[in-house]
Amino acid sequence: MKRTTIFIDEPMLRRLKQKARAEGKSFAQCVREAVAAYVAPAPPGGPRPLPSWVGMFSFGPPHDTSERVDEIIAEAMRRKGPHG
């Protein structure tokens, strides 16, 4: 194994350390797992395509999204049209 240096902003560093503690792993192990996942080869047949509805919603303030779900979906469907 080879030692290296990376630069991570403070909020991400705190989250990574918290995750490592919560999972009972070392900070270095979590970084290695994240890098391994990032460089992992695509599954056979290539990456799975995203569902057609990904990205079609625009949300208002987060506090009322669950209360407005029907309105948000209806507006997205109007913008996208009947044949998406």
pLDDT digits (tens, 9 = 90+) for 30-67: 999 988 888 888 778 777 777 776 766 665 566 666 77
User: Model's pTM, two decimal places?
Assistant: 0.49
Q: Which amino acid, 14?
A: R
Q: Give the residue from 56, 47, 60 showing the smallest Cα distance to 79.
A: 56
- Would you say residue 21 has pLDDT above 90? yes
pLDDT tier at 15, thresholds 50, 70, 90: very high
Collapsing DSSP to helix, strand or coil, 6 comes out as coil
- According to the model, what pLDDT value does residue 25 have? 93
- In whole angstroms, what is the distance from residue 12 CA to residue 25 CA? 17
- According to the model, what pLDDT value does residue 57 have? 61
**pLDDT, mean over the chain:** 80
